[in-house]
Amino acid sequence: MSDPSLSALGRTVDPRRIGANTAPAQHGPAGHGAPTVFDIRGVNVYYGAYKAVKDVNFTVAKNEITALIGPSGCGKSTLLRSLNRMNDLIPGARVEGTVSYHGKDVYAAGVDPVEVRRRIGMVFQKANPFPKSIFDNVAYGPRIHGVPRAEREAIVEDSLKKAALWDEVKDKLKQSALALSGGQQQRLCIARTIALAPEVVLMDEPCSALDPIATARIEELMVDLAKQFTIVIVTHNMQQAARVSDKTAFFSTEVNEQSDTRTGVLVEFDDTQRIFTTPSDERTENYVTGRFG
Ligand SMILES: Nc1ncnc2c1ncn2[C@@H]1O[C@H](COP(=O)(O)OP(=O)(O)OP(=O)(O)O)[C@@H](O)[C@H]1O
């Protein structure tokens, strides 16, 4: 199991930890009272002088699926990327406040962003397999982290099984990943992410380019993966958030009249069921009932 204590975040990756199974845990109601993975406090994210999201506070519990929803431009992807320091790769992007992961600020001095991104993996909106074989796509991360070839084979099989793709590709592992369907490519990208034995998988609208059948497949997979991983998903699809997530964070935008800019704010964070049935904020109710957004 990946060492969740963040004392190791500044260290070079230990290849022996890659591919190690995370202990299965309960998903759903049994997850209540689960340990906190992220404690996000007073987070503001800027692009240059522009404040894209402000004063965000919520927690992410282990082995739960947390959905970030809200209208376009309210900062969902920006906030998601701040959880694993992916915004570091965007020139001018800056995070204020605290993103605490198992009690340690991921932005603290000495924390290695590469190790942060290994523990907190990410799946993007559009499947982005490398122009390599199916095997090499999944083996890539373990290979560059020094895992020996013999062990990589077991990791590839295990990751493809966890991503519910093994049965479809086990006889063509040497074929190009680019020949897979869109839904298969997205499951391959999930396999590639989990091959590094992360604890958390961040998903940025992972189904937006997929048809309803491929989407249903990924949704089933998410619920299954949450037994083993902690998942944070950005989705435009409210039904999807309602179907798969345990907790939902609803974001909206506030207009700054002087600068004529919009800044994302977290309106409400709660159990998904409550957000969709008895939200406490009128803005949330208007959004989930389709009156706004
Ligand atoms: N790389 C960037 N540089 C500058 N501004 C950016 C950048 N990425 C996002 N923004 C701005 O930050 C704000 C929030 O964008 P973000 O993509 O996080 O919102 P979102 O809620 O995920 O939107 P959508 O649902 O449309 O994907 C927007 O005003 C956007 O234009």
Beginning with the edge strand found earlier in the chain, give each strand of the sheet holding 200-204 in spatial order.
104-105, 93-101, 36-47, 50-61, 261-271, 247-256, 65-69, 230-234, 200-204, 120-123
CA distances from 7 to 34, 110, 111, 180, 238 (A): 21, 10, 9, 39, 37
CA atoms within 13 A on the CB side of 267: 25
The reported pLDDT for the residue numbered 15 is 52
The reported pLDDT for the residue numbered 9 is 64
3-state percent breakdown (helix, strand, coil) of the chain, nearest 5: 35, 25, 35
The reported pLDDT for the residue numbered 290 is 85
Per residue of the chain (293 residues), give pLDDT as tens: 344 444 556 544 455 555 454 333 344 444 457 899 999 999 999 999 999 999 999 999 999 999 999 999 999 999 999 999 999 999 999 999 999 999 999 999 999 999 999 999 999 999 999 999 999 999 999 999 899 989 999 999 999 999 999 999 999 999 999 999 999 999 999 999 999 999 999 999 999 888 899 899 999 999 999 999 999 999 999 999 999 999 999 999 999 888 889 999 999 999 999 999 999 999 999 999 987 65
The reply to whether ipTM tops 0.95 is: yes
b/e for 252-267, b at 16 or more Cβ within 10 A? bbeeeeeeeebbbbbb
**Which candidate, 233, 227, 190, places its Cα nearest to that of 60?**
233
State which amino acid sits at residue 127: A
- Enumerate domains of the chain plus CATH numbers: 6-19+27-288 (3.40.50.300)
CA distances from 209 to 89, 129, 205, 236 (A): 24, 14, 9, 12
Say how far apart CA 147 and CA 183 lie, in whole Å. Answer: 28
Alpha helices in 56-181 (DSSP H): 76-83, 113-119, 134-144, 149-162, 166-169
Atom 24, ligand 1: which residue's CA is nearest? 72
Q: Does the C-beta of 52 come closer than 6 Å to ligand 1?
A: yes
The two tokens of residue 210 are: 């997929």
pTM: 0.90
The two tokens of residue 178 are: 């680019």
Tell me the best of 44, 77, 254 to mutate to test the pocket of ligand 1, counting ligand atoms within 8 Å of each CB and taking the most.
77
Cα–chain center distance at 170: 26
Cα–chain center distance at 94: 20
Atom 29, ligand 1: which residue's CA is nearest? 73
Residues 6 or more apart whose CB falls under 8 angstroms from that of 204 comprise: 77, 80, 81, 122, 123, 124, 125, 233, 234
Q: Does the C-beta of 77 come closer than 6 Å to ligand 1?
A: yes
Ligand 1, residue 78: give the atom nearest the CA: 18
